[in-house]
Structure 1
């Protein structure tokens, strides 16, 4: 038996009731419909035994006795401290340019390869957007026709793209962000030239990324099609998803955060991304360091926006890249792989990522592939 469900972010009945009351006030368009609904076994909803506790939860809603848990707060001073307390500078040597990708060992790659059982592969790249969208420039594509030689002809292409931003699927290299004149591992931002960056370039990732990925399906956790604007994802949500999915993030894993950004855009149209977007709260940063995540990605820009932290528009981006030395996959499209994961009831798979081999580059367009 299956049903449409709304998952609470906590395992107790009080949390379930509180969440359901808030959810009822949201736009119906946000909730599960058609091909993108989360159809789960009824047992996923039964966090308490039987139907009596669920009725009890409804009574709690009616009486108003479900105090909301205060979310964690992070200040500018806290983020500044994290730049030091969560640092991986020197962990793999003073000349290291790989950062947390060092955590993807040969043993880890073998374990990831063993996840391939059915041989089904799914892209997590959004198709190139050839019009200006969400404050990002269009992907330029010009086809050129070659001269015919008898019956044989041909065609070529010219591509041009400013991929950093909110529209094109890409990876951020460790030279993409610096703080107080320093990049990851203490390298000076003076190494950044118009002709290329002298250290930490995307070409350090030329051999590709091959590891286990875990998709954290936040719309499925919250029981919605997409997360609403400014919805912050806290450590408790990451741990709630681990519990629901029966999986734990391990050292060397790639962590992929699905917020439903592309579904939201289809439903609501364009919005001011920097002012109204779901994503990770800065309080997740110590959690990422503790779990030794090797790579992180999302379907937008990772951070909740606005961050609410002065001086740091994207605090997660800043600490993850500069302090931890972790590359970021931005603007992925998880719709297809989320459907596959839901059907299989499996949220781990082999991830492969191959950036362009550009010496001095600050990142690269990519086509991340998940294989089951």
Structure 2
């Protein structure tokens, strides 16, 4: 009987959003000096060796992969990617292009693809060569190692063995009893603490964390907007929280950063803190609507996350189709 009551209580928790929530904390604002102090505090440079190039993926150990594999109990898989958008819109100024050749050589139909995948339009991952700060890439590599011919370090081939770990969905709109966060929404460490308390799920070393803002639900409800100037996302305190938990990989349905930036004189501070300081590669612009619906249906917030980027020598990232399997 006690086990039944516990199960029903857990199901009720995930069946409905938590409407009565404490409002989000006021948005934090940092000076450049405060940001630099945080950068050095969160730095993983040298943690796994002075020449290593995988960063926080080192936290995904064989034991962590075995733990993740055991999460597959329902056999249900859900894509975390969106169809490639071929329409030019305000949030996708450089759409995907597919040039078709029909009946080439009288035998085959073929495609030539053209895509500028970084930005706000496509589900993609950022390699550790994607951005830099004060002339340095992650682990102290010089930004001059990235040339017009490609990256000499920290490129997409570092991920050739893929990512296979426990995924944890942190659904912030659900936490606040909302269908989505508005464009001005922001997520702090206090929000992540509250989510853990409400769900009873604790983020642990080597996890991949998926943070849903509801960006695509908002777009469906109100139409596209210039997301580069206004977007819900993380405040710096949330990155410190992820560092404390030793998170290995971070997934967002937007660009991770709450925009505009709350750090004086620095654009995209979350990208800098995660990629450059911590060595944490990111997955941007993913579709978290389907996985959120499945998580609610199954009353689960954890699953196996798999991701295998294309092996692009010198590349700063790649298009992706991550899979959550329950």
Q: Deviations over 1:226-268 (max 9, x none)?
A: 1011111011111111122221000000011101101111111
**Displacement of 1:214 after TM fit?**
0.4
Change (3 A) 1:5 1:208: closer
Structure 1: give runs of 5+ residues left out of the alignment. Answer: 10-14, 20-67
Q: Deviations over 1:182-239 (max 9, x none)?
A: 1000000111111100000011001100000101011111111110111110111111
Residue in 1 that maps onto 2:143: 189
**Displacement of 1:272 after TM fit?**
2.3
Residue in 2 that maps onto 1:234: 188
**Displacement of 1:6 after TM fit?**
4.3
Structure 2: give runs of 5+ residues left out of the alignment. Answer: 1-7
Residues 1:106 and 2:62 aligned together: yes
**What is the total number of aligned residue pairs between the two structures?**
313
Residue in 1 that maps onto 2:235: 281
Equivalent residue runs for 1:244-255 within 5 Å: 244-255=198-209
**Displacement of 1:154 after TM fit?**
2.4
Residue in 2 that maps onto 1:165: 119
CA–CA separation in structure 2 for the residues paired with 1:312 and 1:334: 28
- Tell me the secondary structure at the aligned position of residue 88 of structure 1: coil
Residue in 2 that maps onto 1:43: none
Contact 2:25–2:188 (8 Å) recurs in 1: no
Equivalent residue runs for 1:332-371 within 5 Å: 332-371=286-325
CA–CA separation in structure 2 for the residues paired with 1:364 and 1:147: 27
Query: TM-score, with normalisation over the residues of structure 1?
Result: 0.81
Residues 1:256 and 2:213 aligned together: no
CA–CA separation in structure 2 for the residues paired with 1:83 and 1:73: 15
Larger Rg computed on CA atoms: 1
Choose which of 191, 196, 199 in structure 1 pairs with 2:153. 199
Contact 1:74–1:283 (8 Å) recurs in 2: no
Contact 2:118–2:124 (8 Å) recurs in 1: yes
Change (3 A) 1:320 1:104: same
CA–CA separation in structure 2 for the residues paired with 1:270 and 1:210: 33
Contact 1:76–1:311 (8 Å) recurs in 2: yes
Contact 1:8–1:221 (8 Å) recurs in 2: no
Calculate the aligned-residue CA RMSD, in Å. Answer: 1.7
CA–CA separation in structure 2 for the residues paired with 1:89 and 1:210: 23
Residue in 2 that maps onto 1:224: 178
CA–CA separation in structure 2 for the residues paired with 1:83 and 1:131: 38
- Tell me the secondary structure at the aligned position of residue 275 of structure 1: coil
Query: Quick one: higher RCO (CA 8 Å, sep 6+), 1 or 2?
Result: 2
Choose which of 110, 129, 143 in structure 1 pairs with 2:100. 143
**Displacement of 1:308 after TM fit?**
2.1
Change (3 A) 1:353 1:314: same
**Displacement of 1:284 after TM fit?**
1.3
Residue in 1 that maps onto 2:42: 86
Contact 2:17–2:175 (8 Å) recurs in 1: no
